[in-house]
Amino acid sequence: MAFTGAFTTAAPAPADDSAPHRVRYLVSATETAQANIYYREVQPPNFGEYSHNPYQYSPRADVTIGPNQPWIFET
């Protein structure tokens, strides 16, 4: 068998460190439900810090979600 094709490499575009990175979490449901949602609020400085206390960086929201009642968090 013979294989033909072209290989290309792509370099990632340089990141603009001056622009803040925004994340929007949105959780919804088709029926009303209680939810325990863990989300990332702050990026840990390294994995060791996260491993030592993950809940410091991933707090929990105890919420009621449902139709026309989403949980929204922006960070």
pLDDT digits (tens, 9 = 90+) for 34-67: 999 998 888 899 999 889 988 888 899 999 999 9
Q: Write down the pTM of the prediction.
A: 0.60
Q: Give pairs for 44-48: CB < 8 Å, separation 24+.
A: none
Where does the pLDDT of residue 23 fall: very low under 50, low under 70, confident under 90, or very high at 90 and above? confident
pLDDT averaged over every residue in the chain? 81
Instruction: Report H helices in 1-75.
Output: 47-52, 54-57
